Amino acid sequence: MIDFENKVAVVTGAASGIGFAMAEKFYQLGMHVVMADIEQDALTAAASRLEDPSRVMAVVTDVSDPDAVDALAEAAFTAFGTVHIVCNNAGVFVGGASWECSDADYRWLIDVNVRGIANGIRSFVPKMIAAGEEGHIVNTASMAAMTTMPFSSVYCMSKAAALSLSECLFKELEIVAPQLGVSVLCPELINTSLASAQRNRPDQYSKQGDLTDTDMSKMTEQAIAEGVASGIEPTVMAERVLQGIKDRKFYLLPQDGWKDAAMIRQEEIQQESNPTFTYVE
Ligand SMILES: NC(=O)c1ccc[n+]([C@@H]2O[C@H](COP(=O)([O-])OP(=O)(O)OC[C@H]3O[C@@H](n4cnc5c(N)ncnc54)[C@H](O)[C@@H]3O)[C@@H](O)[C@H]2O)c1
């Protein structure tokens, strides 16, 4: 896809961080933008920053709910006739040792970070194939998908699943609907609100009575908060995504120590040596 003007993009997790940066970039290119997020007030405020309301639609959506994502797709196709770009970007984080994280922690991250992407694929891809137009799916995983980060195991696991799902989707669409490209965005540390993901934790994943508030989880969440605060700006991710769509490039990775860390893991698999802790400052 080279020409973006008047095309239609849908972005989940668009009220904040990387999602907002992508929505803003698409808007600046003259696209119609559907912004979806679970956090109503933040979504309304974010959408109002894009000035032409005729090109912007905000839809409160919990990506873990298949019916809600179906309704999002229906709303986007009804409002703008078609959809060209879908960014399955919404995501959340919890820290802690894998044996201390609660069942609710596991369920929450699988539901948002994995099923959220699956729901986006299931709701949008059949409609995009039927539309027959050129388009692109961008799934947000993380460098956590391909590095070893102890005490972030639930997050790493969910992002590894997001990466794997995206790789298979890429090959499937190459065979079935080659007009649709796929990219997986694997950010390094980005200055967003990810460390306060608990603000959007629904009651059904209540922390009440669970064991997650341990010193280990607090220490990890503090380290992530500091790492993210020192991270690069989300607008860099929006540029990386835009270029990836233009180039029909699948892996959208940082070109710094994080990529080296991912390579170390590949070598360890090749050599059958044991994992290294590959956190990059
Ligand atoms: N910030 C980083 O360093 C970093 C690194 C790697 C990957 N990522 C990934 O980038 C993506 C965007 O996160 P961010 O860093 O911009 O964080 P963020 O918290 O600033 O934005 C995430 C957005 O997702 C929304 N959200 C949460 N649960 C949702 C749900 N169930 N349904 C719909 N929306 C929901 C939040 O309300 C928020 O607006 C996530 O998938 C995250 O895992 C971030």
Determine the pLDDT at residue 214.
76
- Whether residue 187 has its Cβ less than 6 Å from ligand 1: yes
- Any domain includes 281: no
Determine the pLDDT at residue 257.
87
pTM of the model: 0.97
To 10 degrees, what angle do helices 115-131 and 66-80 make? 30
Number of structural domains, the chain? 1
- Whether residue 18 has its Cβ less than 6 Å from ligand 1: yes
Beta carbons of 217 and 96 less than 8 angstroms apart: yes
Tokens of 224: 């992530």
Give one DSSP letter per residue of 173-242, joined into a string: HHHH-TTEEEEEE---SBSSSGGGGGGG--GGG--TT-S--SHHHHHHHHHHHHHHHTSB-HHHHHHHHH
- Any domain includes 164: yes
Beta carbons of 216 and 169 less than 8 angstroms apart: no
Q: Which of 24, 44, 65, 92 should be mutated for ligand 1, with most atoms under 8 A from CB?
A: 92
Determine the pLDDT at residue 281.
65
Q: Mention every residue, 6+ apart, whose C-beta is less than 8 A from residue 216.
A: 95, 96, 97, 100, 151
Determine the pLDDT at residue 209.
55
Determine the pLDDT at residue 2.
80
Determine the pLDDT at residue 215.
80
Across the chain, which has 281 residues, the per-10-residue mean pLDDT values are: 93 98 98 98 98 96 98 98 98 94 95 98 98 98 95 97 98 98 97 95 80 76 90 97 98 91 94 87 65
CB atoms within 10 A of CB 271: 8
- Any domain includes 119: yes
Which atom of ligand 1 sits closest to the CA of residue 14?
A: 39
Catalytic residue numbers? 155
- Whether residue 12 has its Cβ less than 6 Å from ligand 1: yes
Q: Which CATH number does the domain housing residue 143 bear?
A: 3.40.50.720
Q: How many angstroms is it from 57 CA to the middle of ligand 1? A: 19
What CA–CA distance (Å, rounded) separates 64 from 3?
32
- Dihedral over Cα of 196, 212, 155, 103: its sign: negative
Q: How many angstroms is it from 256 CA to the middle of ligand 1? A: 22
- Any domain includes 156: yes
Determine the pLDDT at residue 256.
81
| Rg of the chain on CA atoms, in Å | 18
Determine the pLDDT at residue 243.
98
- Any domain includes 232: yes
Beta carbons of 123 and 66 less than 8 angstroms apart: yes
- Any domain includes 18: yes
- Any domain includes 1: no
- Any domain includes 96: yes
User: Containing domain of residue 159, as a range?
Assistant: 8-271
